[in-house]
Amino acid sequence: MADKEFSVYMCGVGGQGLVLLSNVIGSACALSGMRAITGEQHGLSQRSGSINIHMRIGKDVRSPLIPIGGADAILALEALEALRYVEYLRPGGVVVMNSRVQHPIIETGEHVKDKSARYMDAEVVKTRLLQVTDKIATIDALGIARKAGNALTENVVMLGAMSTLDAFPVPDDAVEQAIKDGVPKKAVEVNLKAFKMGRQEAHGSLCNIVKCRKGFPEPMT
């Protein structure tokens, strides 16, 4: 398993906690003796703009950037952002996307001017993405995060869902350990819960369309 490569293009909106996800996955790789590299976006990233992280696992990967058409998966913490980087997805790659849409201010500004305008929604994104892959799972990460006990764990819910993929090479226990190490002490419980609930959610969506790990789908608890 250690020599299997996996590249995931992670994207979202500034402030959603993408960097935490890449740190968790990367630290889990370090704990498991696997090689991982990332190409991250910092600096302007907290300014409600589109952000992305290239996350790559495998002993021979060298470029921190995923080539166009080279991502095994897109993990989108916001629905529109899944579409924004679609050129990175390899043919038949998996899209795990949050159903939540954060309307860009430019779009809202246009709506003031044009009464007939409607926002682009997650359904439109999914319809468009279906033209390049049939493996798309939409997750209500905010709803699940609230149920877990903290709306801010939306990112970890999404990680939980993706971690059920058979192609995701990092062992579960290492990911859980990395979550424990990577979040503030008082937030460990709620994040682990969000992670588990994200995994359970994959049962009803992701695991119906793409090969998940043994033990999935796992029963809801």
Partner 1 sequence: MTAEDVARDGPGKAFMLCNEAIVRGALESDVKVVSEYPGSPTTEILDTFSELSTMFDYKMEIASNEKVALETCAGASMVGLRTMTAMKSVGMNVASDSFFSLSYTGIKGGMVIVMADDPQAHSSQTEQDGRPFGPNAYVPMLEPSDPTEAKRMVKEAYLLSEKYGVPVLIRTTTRVNHQSGVVQLDKLDRKPFAKLPWPHPPGRFCTVAEAARNFKKALLERQRKIQEEFEYSDMNLVKDTGSEIGIVTSGAGYNYTVEATRILGIDPSILKLGTTYPLPRKLIGDFIKKKRAVIVVEELQPYLELHVTAIAKDANPELKIFGKWTGNLSEALELSPDIVATALAGVLGLGKPVDYESIIAKANTLKTGLPDRWPTFCPGCPHRATLYALRQATKGMKHILATDIGCYSMSFLDPINYGDTLLSMGASLGVAAGLQYAAQEKIVAMIGDSTFWHAGLPGMVNAIHHNDDITLVILDNEVTAMTGQQPDPGRDYNAGGQPAKPLVLEDVIKAMGVSDITIVDPYQVKAAVEPMKAALSRKGPNVIISRRACALYADRNKRRRGEAIQSNKVDKEVCKKPYTCIRNFHCPAISIDDNDRKAVITKELCDRCDVCAKLCPFGSIKLREGE
Question: Could you list the residues that contact partner 1 (CB under 8 A)?
Answer: 13-15, 22-23, 26-27, 29-30, 34-50, 60-70, 80-81, 83-84, 86-87, 102-112, 115, 118-120, 128-129, 131-132, 142, 151, 181-182
33: left (phi over 0), alpha (psi -120 to 50) or beta: left
> At its nearest, how many Å lie between partner 1 and the CB of residue 215?
26
Q: How far is the CB of 194 from partner 1 (least distance, A)?
A: 15
Minimum CB distance to partner 1 smaller for 12 or for 207: 12
Provide the minimum distance between the beta carbon of 203 and partner 1 in the complex, in angstroms, as a whole number: 26
Contact assessment for residue 2 and residue 34, using Cβ atoms and an 8 Å cutoff: yes
| Distance from C-alpha of 106 to C-alpha of 74, rounded to nearest angstrom | 24
Residue with Cβ nearer partner 1 (110 or 134): 110
Shortest Å, Cβ 81 to partner 1: 8
CA dihedral defined by 151, 156, 160, 161, rounded to 10 degrees?
60
Pick between residue 84 and residue 213 the one whose CB is nearest to partner 1.
84
Best CA proximity match to 153, nearest among 141, 163, 145 = 145
Chain centroid to CA 2: 21
Report, in Å, the least distance between residue 216 CB and partner 1: 26
Tokens representing 194 are: 């969000």
